[in-house]
Amino acid sequence: MARTGKQPVSLPGGVTVDISNRTVTVEGKLGKLHYTHRPEVEVVREGDQLLVRIVSNDSRATAFQGLARSLIKNMIEGVTKGYSKSLEVYGVGYGVNLSGQKLNLDCGKSHQEVLAIPAGIEVEIKTPQARGDTDPAKFTVKGCDKQLVGEFAAECRRMRPPEPYKGKGVRYAGEIVKRKVGKAFVGEE
């Protein structure tokens, strides 16, 4: 069994951590994040490290310890380095563009799919229009909150998931789409 929760989380320079009651606030050059942990665990600062300790006899307390440690580590990494997800839009005439705080996806429908970009998320468009089946439109979702970046990227992909016959749709960069062969017409003998 892994003992992730017992490992200390080191604090890099430029990161300030405030622990009050059960709320841990992490602030760095890319933003500020909050996390309220479960009452079965406590977060303690010792020098330039954070430790998550169990304070309850609950059988699930070790799971909460590992969860709290992982979430705090992700918050620290998010405010120092940030997170990003790259997406690609495949299909003839498909594309992506920005208008203020809204992301517009052209995915072969009669209308554009419009997604409101949440606060704390930045969208960077590298290639706005897909050209054929080999050169997709590309964009990147960035932010300091790992969960928010992943949720918004998944919401973009959900607008038009890649279909198996031609591979058209929104997919993560590097995602492999299993392709199916179409109907095979057999000639008469």
For residues 46 and 57, membership in a common domain is answered with yes
- Per-residue pLDDT tens digits for 124-152: 999 999 887 789 999 999 999 999 999 99
For residues 117 and 154, membership in a common domain is answered with yes
36 within 8 A of 23, measured Cβ to Cβ: yes
Indicate whether 113 belongs to any domain: yes
Quote the pLDDT of residue 131: 87
Indicate whether 150 belongs to any domain: yes
The structure's pTM equals: 0.89
Quote the pLDDT of residue 1: 47
| Residue 6 confidence (pLDDT) above 50 | yes
For residues 60 and 127, membership in a common domain is answered with no
For residues 72 and 110, membership in a common domain is answered with no
Q: Which residues of 49-80 are buried (b: 16+ CB within 10 A; e: fewer)?
A: ebbbeeeeeeeebbebbbbbbebbbbbbbbbb
Indicate whether 186 belongs to any domain: no
CATH number assigned to the domain comprising residue 55: 3.90.930.12
Quote the pLDDT of residue 187: 61
Q: How many helices (H) and strands (E) does the chain have?
A: 2, 13
- Cα separation values, 25 from 7, 20, 36, 90, 150, Å: 20, 8, 9, 40, 21
- Per-residue pLDDT tens digits for 74-100: 999 999 999 999 999 999 889 999 999
